[in-house]
Structure 1
């Protein structure tokens, strides 16, 4: 008779314990804003999940990264050519599914006409250049290396904004500018915008004909930064660099009309506006 009474009590204790734990860690999805322009990104957080959630936006799946106990986050890029309109951010965690409606608005960036001389106009990206850059930009290391404010990587005037559509020598518009151009004298130091690991150094001699001498830094959790057209590279692959540490010098290599730095920021391999990072922390 005692056994018949004790078993229901035991299972009741398990049930109430499970319920109380669920109440302590409720699953909650939040987004920093319900609308973003093309080329910006959503800051998506999820609390209460014990295992890595899966996130979908615009038919693409993104990893979420653990920030602290039961707190997950993703910086979700809005590609510059994403059609303006209504979308949803959907997150699944175990048996839970939540979604938030969001809107993408146009950034209305202008068309930029660029004149290249014959020595630059004929340059094409090599297979080695394209494959190495693509692999580096899709790095998704779990450890978050960046902290504090993101720094402008060199001193100079911004001469071309992110997202402007580009026509070369009067040709059709087939691409957009995937970073900021900062005009500076050749040889001006270039520094890392944040702490990270150098995952690519590429030179003209190695086939980097379009990007010129290149450095790419992995900052962790899907974020990377690129530095193009350098006259010299002073960092090496595998090197851990701090925010503000010199990694190269401004140059005029690759497809470039004058000495400048092309600075780009990427999330999950998609370019986003570097101005969103400069002087801010995430």
Structure 2
């Protein structure tokens, strides 16, 4: 079985999908998968599905959703596979647990492993390779086709931040490797999607400057300053202002792998 949440929700084997079409069961499956191999309490399920206003039939409705999920999880298997599905999706006194085996592919688990290894790598080339592998697992916004409740929303926000941080670390490693020309497209897209991220804007400015585009680098700073003022009423940080000043004067330190500006 494959389990994927870094984009649309995908659970299945081969061409057989185990993802329910109804919104609430999809939501429940997503919550269980984000907490794979751990029990999720019935209270947590209710909070996610009904946001503090569960129906009087909450317990019966949850049991119905679990039965539907077990039936779907049994679909890729041979006939009479519901006992196996009960072992996959376990009911306990504390709630429900979805088992994902170590040998099965789970994109979130792989993403976490690769980003951890990438951050720990001492060699920028190794770090870049590992972080690129992690980012390639991201097919789009987390659980893009699931309408989230409060618990899913919190986890989705955290995972989006983890993806952004991994991208920044990857770009920084590749800049140190002198790959500024090849980074321009990725950095342009990332900077436009996250205009308040000064660290990202600074990486884009540095890549532009090293690619011989000083004027464009300075325009990124002006745009960032205007966005910060309009959105937050703040001025750019001292760090990005120093970078802008260094670009204005073509400071030779900007050509070093790790410019201390």
TM-score over 0.5 for the pair: no
Structure having the larger proportion of residues in helix: 2
- TM-score, normalised to structure 1, is 0.23
- TM-score, normalised to structure 2, is 0.24
Structure having the larger proportion of residues in strand: 1
